[in-house]
């Protein structure tokens, strides 16, 4: 597939700092950023087909209250409860990903068509390698950090205990594996402002047409 537009696939491990980089690319550099996490959240909004499938599978364990009376607000998913289920069981996580990933791909296709005239688009995809979405990108940037720092950030950000945080890290490919696959590795062991000159250098490179 020939990609004429410069499409930066932005990925990284959980709590490595990819959202911070995405915010800088959008806020400081004015680039459109498509967020796979947002598409996934919207796929599980009340009233969607995916939400109905999740509630049918897990019922009250994820916050379902049974049939809603006519005119009532559609049932919502308790995302924390759902997370506890899928991060503890690889088979359940795979089921959920197979449910959500097609909708995420569909949203990317729609948004990329809408942004066709933009010279550069950022696709922020945490599970880019795991889901095999490299084909959407002309280059892949990996936001990386020391694994101990990653664990510390995750515990602080999500209020997780050590075992729970390590369980979530184990659900993704390790950063060491992703580093071997990325075109660019952005070290994020410092603070937000230290990222700016790195991004300036990377965006200063001429866009390339990638044959894949």
- For the chain, percent helix, then strand, then coil, each to nearest 5? 50, 15, 35
Counting residues of the chain whose pLDDT is more than 70, the rounded percentage is: 90
Q: Are residues 6 and 93 in the same domain?
A: no
Can you give the CATH number for the domain in which 174 is found?
3.40.50.300
Distances (CA, A) of 56 to 50, 63, 66, 172: 10, 11, 9, 26
Residue 100's pLDDT is: 95
**pTM score of the predicted model:** 0.83
Q: How many other C-beta atoms can be found within 10 angstroms of the C-beta atom of residue 65?
A: 11
- Do 200 and 120 lie in a common domain? yes
Q: Are 5 and 136 in contact (CB under 8 A)?
A: no
For 148-189, how does the pLDDT look when each residue is reduced to its tens digit (9 = 90+)?
888 888 888 888 888 888 888 888 888 889 999 999 999 988
Domain boundary among 101, 123, 151: 101
Instruction: Give yes or no: residues 139 and 160 share one domain.
Output: yes
Please report, in angstroms and rounded to a whole number, the separation of the first and last CA atoms in the chain: 5
Does 26 share its domain with 122? yes
Q: Do 26 and 120 share a domain, yes or no?
A: yes
Q: Domain of 139? A: 1-32+115-212
Task: For residues 122 and 211, state if they share a domain.
Answer: yes
pLDDT for 71? 45
Q: What is the pLDDT of residues 29-41, one digit of tens each?
A: 999 999 999 999 9
What pLDDT score was predicted for residue 206?
A: 32
Output the CA torsion 47→45→100→70 (10° steps): -10
Greater model confidence, 80 or 212 = 80
The pLDDT assigned to 211 comes to 31
120 within some domain? yes
Q: What is the mean pLDDT of residues 15-32?
A: 92
| CB burial readout 81-107, b (16+ within 10 A) else e | ebbebbbeeeeeeeebbebbbebbeeb
Asked whether residue 106 is domain-assigned, the answer is no
pLDDT at site 86? 93
Whether the predicted pLDDT of 64 surpasses 80: no
Is the residue at 18 inside a domain? yes
Residue 162 forms part of a structural domain: yes
In contact, 33 and 199? CB cutoff 8 Å:
no
Q: Is the pLDDT of residue 25 over 60?
A: yes
Q: Does a structural domain hold residue 76? A: yes
Kindly state whether residues 123 and 192 are assigned to the same domain: yes
How many domains does the chain divide into? 2
Residue 108 domain flag? no
140 plus 160 within the same structural domain:
yes
**Do 205 and 120 lie in a common domain?**
yes
Res. 115 pLDDT band, cuts 50 70 90: very high
Answer yes or no: is 110 within a domain.
Answer: no
| 107 in a structural domain | no
Q: Residue 48 to residues 75, 122, 138: CA-CA distances in angstroms?
A: 10, 26, 32
Please determine, for residue 207, whether its predicted confidence score (pLDDT) is greater than 50: no
Comparison of pLDDT for 29 and 190, the residue scoring more: 29
Average pLDDT, the chain: 87
Q: What is the DSSP letter of 46?
A: T
pLDDT of residue 209: 34
3-state DSSP call for residue 18?
helix
Whether residue 188 sits in one domain with residue 160: yes
- Distance (Å, whole) CA 164 – CA 179: 24
Q: Domain boundary residue among 74, 101, 128? A: 101
Q: Are residues 165 and 73 in the same domain?
A: no
Q: Do 45 and 61 have their domain in common?
A: yes
Token match 């097609």: residue? 102
Which segment of 41-50, 72-81, 94-103 scores lowest on mean pLDDT? 72-81
């Amino acid at each position: 597939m020939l990609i004429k537009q410069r499409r930066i696939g932005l990925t990284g491990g959980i709590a490595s700092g990819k959202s911070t980089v995405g915010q800088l690319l959008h806020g400081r550099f004015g680039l459109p950023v498509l967020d796979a996490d947002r598409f996934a959240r919207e796929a599980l909004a009340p009233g969607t087909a995916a939400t109905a499938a999740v509630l049918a599978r897990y019922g009250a364990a994820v916050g379902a209250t049974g049939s809603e009376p006519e005119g009532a607000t559609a049932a919502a998913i308790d995302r924390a409860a759902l997370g506890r289920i899928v991060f503890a069981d690889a088979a359940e996580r795979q089921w959920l990903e197979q449910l959500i990933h097609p909708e995420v791909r569909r949203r990317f296709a729609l948004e990329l068509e809408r942004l066709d005239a933009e010279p550069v688009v950022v696709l922020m995809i945490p599970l880019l390698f795991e889901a095999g979405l490299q084909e959407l990108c002309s280059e892949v940037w990996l936001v990386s950090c020391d694994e101990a720092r990653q664990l510390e950030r995750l515990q602080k950000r999500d209020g997780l205990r050590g075992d729970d945080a390590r369980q979530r890290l184990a659900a993704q490919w390790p950063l060491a594996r992703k580093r071997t696959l990325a075109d660019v590795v952005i070290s994020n062991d410092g603070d937000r402002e230290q990222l700016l000159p790195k991004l300036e250098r990377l965006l200063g490179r001429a866009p390339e047409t990638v044959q894949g």
